[in-house]
């Protein structure tokens, strides 16, 4: 369960369902002392000052901040008091990627998943499960390293099923994109409806809400997650969705737990486009690449997909970064090199050690060893409220280079690299380690990337079923094929 516990820890600590300060501890620690309180403050303050992401803050302001918060922090008698002071200091920065994560902050702890398995099972018996459920499996007690195949998003104040992976447990159980999620295990989202309705899905808080819902829908392989869905006819479906082992290659990075890396590609041919409701010209082909995070294992499958697209002469390429939270920023340079013939700057990252220019590396040798030129057909990049960090760097940089048309919804503006540091009181301090700006000087942090083609789902939850973002990219490309103003980027 390490992967999703770590992720949900970050999400929960940012208080998706509570005011914008980390949740205070609900238990006392006899080992807490004034010395620990003071040491915790000093380490958090030092990490912020030396993070490399706050170069716009003057030395005088840092000294003022230290003087203002040191006394109250060192006088704190409980972890709860200390956290309140530290969170006030962190909030004063006005930056994302800086947060205090209480050691108690796990989905299980904060959401009350302390009941034993019998209690959860007893509650399940009070609800009638659909025929698609698998009652031979043990009920999942909390988030885990397995997957159900459900992709969740905050949408119009509700948690919705944005995507159901093909051949996944959720697909076999009959779960449909567009359904509303009312309840996962014992956590009832309807209770939080007023709170959720006030959250912008493309804000950091919206990102966290979607992310925590996603974490809740996971479990340990071999168990089943009880979820109550509501369909478009307002009919409830109580389904125990089986959990399977994650597909893809498990990788580790830094001090993060192992995570699965999944890369998928396909070609939308005339027959497929016809099934989507499009009238395409004979021989039309559009390549699609989708990967869930920016980690090293994506590079070979992407290179193979590019080679396939080249050999089959696709008309356009769509890169789907929806739900991709980021990863290793440098990989954006290699992926961008498949689509740019000259080294092109995607942006600049600065920290206290210097700066790094994200210049693309033109890919001129194919996976089979042949000399080739980067692809020059139209490129579309799909993003949404869960496309963060490296996904924002790549989308923003390729857009400013005039090479890509961005489709979807505004990203959350969380482009900065970050790390998690243990504090003396047992909490974890999550902090950015650099600043980043696009070639134009635009700061992505807190603003996000606004698509060229904004797909508004505000008044039509059922559009999840039709994949409106993919459809919009396809429609835009097909409409431009015979246009004399079409460029190699696919943008007019």
Query: Per-residue pLDDT averaged across 75-80, rounded?
Result: 93
Residues 301, 406: one domain? yes
Q: Which pLDDT score, from 0 to 100, does residue 17 have?
A: 29
With a CB cutoff of 8 Å and minimum separation 6, the contacts of 105 are: 9, 12, 13, 22, 23
Q: What is the pTM of this model?
A: 0.81
- Residue indicated by tokens 């206290």: 352
Model confidence at 67: pLDDT above 80:
yes
Residue 162 within a domain: yes
CATH value at residue 327: 3.90.226.10
367, 310 in Cβ contact below 8 A? no
CATH value at residue 179: 2.30.42.10
DSSP 342: S
CA quadruple 475, 478, 483, 488: dihedral sign: positive
Residues 268, 130: one domain? no
Residues 308, 456: one domain? yes
Residue 16 within a domain: yes
Residues 15, 70: one domain? yes
- DSSP string spanning 312-336? TT-SEEEEE-TT---B-TTHHHHHH
What are phi and psi for residue 443, nearest 5 degrees?
-90, 115
Residue 136 within a domain: yes
Segment 252-311, tens digit of pLDDT: 876 566 789 999 999 999 999 999 989 888 899 999 999 999 999 999 999 999 999 999
Out of 215, 245, 275, pick the residue that ends a domain.
Answer: 245
DSSP-derived 3-state class of residue 242? strand
Residues 359, 459: one domain? yes
DSSP 490: S
Residues 78, 121: one domain? no
Q: Which pLDDT score, from 0 to 100, does residue 128 have?
A: 45
Nearest to 320 by CA among 342, 340, 298: 298
Q: Which pLDDT score, from 0 to 100, does residue 98 have?
A: 83
| Buried/exposed code over 31-55 (b: 16+ C-beta within 10 A; e: otherwise) | ebeeebbbbbbbbbbebbbebbbbe
Q: Looking at the 3D structure of the chain, how many domains does it have?
A: 3
Q: Which pLDDT score, from 0 to 100, does residue 492 have?
A: 30
Residues 274, 203: one domain? no
Residues 89, 36: one domain? yes
Could you give the CA distance from residue 463 to residue 456 in angstroms, rounded to a whole number?
10
196, 154 in Cβ contact below 8 A? yes
Out of 183, 216, 245, pick the residue that ends a domain.
Answer: 245
Model confidence at 156: pLDDT above 90:
no
Residue 488 within a domain: no
Q: Which pLDDT score, from 0 to 100, does residue 488 have?
A: 36
Residues 184, 263: one domain? no
Residue 443 within a domain: no
Confidence of residue 459 (pLDDT cuts 50, 70, 90): low
Q: Which pLDDT score, from 0 to 100, does residue 136 have?
A: 81
Residue 95 within a domain: yes
Residue 440 within a domain: no
Out of 195, 228, 245, pick the residue that ends a domain.
Answer: 245
Nearest to 78 by CA among 126, 121, 28: 28
Higher-confidence residue of 68 and 435: namely 68
Model confidence at 131: pLDDT above 60:
no
Q: Which pLDDT score, from 0 to 100, does residue 93 have?
A: 85
Q: Any idea of the CA torsion for 414, 416, 422, 428, to the nearest 10 degrees?
A: -10
Segment 220-238, tens digit of pLDDT: 999 999 999 999 899 999 9
**Could you tell me the residue range of the domain that residue 474 belongs to?**
251-413+448-480
Residues 67, 147: one domain? no
Residues 319, 457: one domain? yes
DSSP H or E run through 70: helix 59-74
Q: In this prediction, what percent of the chain has a pLDDT beyond 70? A: 82
Q: Which pLDDT score, from 0 to 100, does residue 208 have?
A: 81
Residues 28, 164: one domain? no
Residue 227 within a domain: yes
Higher-confidence residue of 209 and 44: namely 44
With a CB cutoff of 8 Å and minimum separation 6, the contacts of 385 are: 153, 154, 201, 202, 206, 207, 210, 409, 410, 411, 412
Model confidence at 5: pLDDT above 80:
no
CA quadruple 261, 385, 338, 277: dihedral sign: positive
């Amino acid at each position: 369960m390490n992967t999703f516990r770590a992720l949900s820890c970050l999400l929960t600590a940012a208080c998706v369902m509570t005011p914008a300060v980390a949740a205070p501890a609900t238990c006392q620690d006899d080992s807490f002392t004034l010395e620990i309180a003071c040491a915790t403050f000093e380490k958090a303050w030092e990490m912020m000052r030396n993070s490399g992401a706050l170069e716009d803050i003057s030395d005088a302001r840092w000294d003022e901040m230290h003087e203002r918060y040191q006394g109250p922090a060192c006088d704190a008698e409980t972890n709860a008091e200390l956290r309140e002071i530290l969170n006030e200091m962190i909030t004063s920065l006005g930056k994302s990627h800086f947060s205090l994560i209480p050691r108690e902050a796990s989905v299980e702890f904060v959401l009350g998943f302390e009941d034993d398995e019998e209690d959860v099972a007893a509650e399940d018996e009070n609800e009638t499960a659909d025929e698609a459920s698998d009652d031979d499996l043990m009920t999942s007690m909390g988030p885990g390293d397995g997957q159900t195949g459900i992709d969740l998003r905050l949408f119009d104040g509700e948690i919705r099923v944005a995507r159901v992976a093909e051949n996944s447990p959720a697909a076999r159980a009959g779960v449909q994109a567009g359904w509303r999620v009312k309840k996962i295990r014992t956590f009832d989202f309807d209770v939080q409806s007023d709170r959720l309705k006030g959250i912008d899905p493309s804000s950091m808080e919206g990102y966290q809400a979607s992310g925590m819902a996603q974490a809740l829908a996971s479990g340990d392989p071999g168990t089943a997650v009880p979820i109550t869905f509501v369909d478009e006819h307002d009919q409830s479906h109580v389904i125990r969705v089986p959990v399977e082992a994650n597909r893809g290659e498990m990788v580790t990075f830094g001090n993060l737990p192992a995570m699965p890396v999944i890369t998928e590609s396909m070609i939308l041919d005339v027959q497929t486009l016809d099934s989507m409701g499009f009238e395409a010209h004979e021989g039309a082909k559009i390549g699609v690449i989708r990967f869930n995070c920016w980690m090293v294992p994506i590079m070979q499958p992407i290179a193979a997909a590019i080679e396939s697209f080249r050999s089959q002469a696709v008309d356009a390429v769509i890169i789907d970064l929806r739900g991709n939270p980021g990863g290793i920023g440098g990989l954006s340079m290699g992926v961008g090199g498949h689509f740019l013939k000259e080294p092109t700057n995607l942006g600049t990252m600065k920290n206290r050690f210097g700066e790094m220019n994200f210049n693309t590396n033109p890919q001129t040798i194919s996976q089979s060893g042949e000399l080739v030129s980067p692809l020059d057909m139209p490129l579309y990049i799909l993003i949404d409220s869960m496309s963060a960090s490296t996904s924002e760097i790549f989308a923003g940089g390729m857009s400013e280079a005039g090479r890509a048309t961005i489709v979807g919804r505004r990203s959350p503006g969380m482009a900065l690299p970050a790390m998690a540091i243990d504090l003396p009181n047992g909490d974890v301090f999550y902090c950015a380690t650099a600043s980043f700006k696009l070639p134009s000087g635009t700061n992505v942090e807190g603003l996000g990337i606004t698509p060229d083609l904004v797909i508004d789902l505000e008044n039509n939850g059922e559009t999840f079923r039709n994949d409106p973002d993919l459809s919009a990219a396809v429609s835009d490309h097909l409409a431009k094929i015979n246009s004399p103003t079409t460029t190699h980027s696919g943008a007019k």
